[in-house]
Amino acid sequence: MRYLFLLILTFPLLIQSADLEFKEGDEFIANKFETIALFFYKSDATRVDIARDLSFSIHDFMTYGAVDQRDIYKIKRGETFILKDSYRDGDIFEVNLKSSRTSREKYFVLSEDLKNSSITLVTEES
């Protein structure tokens, strides 16, 4: 009986644990303050993505994947962005940010950061 009860409790978690797939044109809204980091340059996003995949220690990551803080924008709560183009087989996305706080619109984001952050997909109701 305990095993049946445990199975019933874990079944919804197993169903929702499917890998999220992001596609071009998806629009997201940030739920928390400084939810996700956007990179100004595609080369910075690529460098961090490669460093996450290949680094074996924190020293390796800091040596290869370091990015200047001035080239990163942290999304604030309530800001929305749209995924435009994908690079490196969907590991990096070009993003158009809809914000009045910055004059720049084009940024880059890692898909791993999208999976691990508190953002919600905005659905168009028609």
pLDDT per position as a tens digit, 19-49: 567 788 889 888 888 778 899 999 999 999 9
Q: Say if residue 17's pLDDT is above 50.
A: no
User: Do the domain assignments include residue 86?
Assistant: yes
If one compares 7 and 38, the residue with the highest pLDDT of the two is 38
User: Do the domain assignments include residue 101?
Assistant: yes
If one compares 123 and 111, the residue with the highest pLDDT of the two is 111
Assign residue 59 the CATH number of its domain: 2.30.30
User: Do the domain assignments include residue 60?
Assistant: yes
User: Do the domain assignments include residue 6?
Assistant: no
Domains contained in the chain, number: 1
Cα separation, 34 vs 40, in Å, equals: 16
If one compares 11 and 81, the residue with the highest pLDDT of the two is 81
Residue 67 CB burial class (10 angstroms; 0-12, 13-18, ≥19): middle
The per-residue pLDDT for 56 is 77
Cα separation, 88 vs 70, in Å, equals: 24
* pLDDT averaged over every residue in the chain: 83
**Domain enclosing residue 29, as ranges:** 20-122
Q: Say if residue 126's pLDDT is above 70.
A: no
User: Do the domain assignments include residue 33?
Assistant: yes
CA 17 to the chain's CA centroid: 17
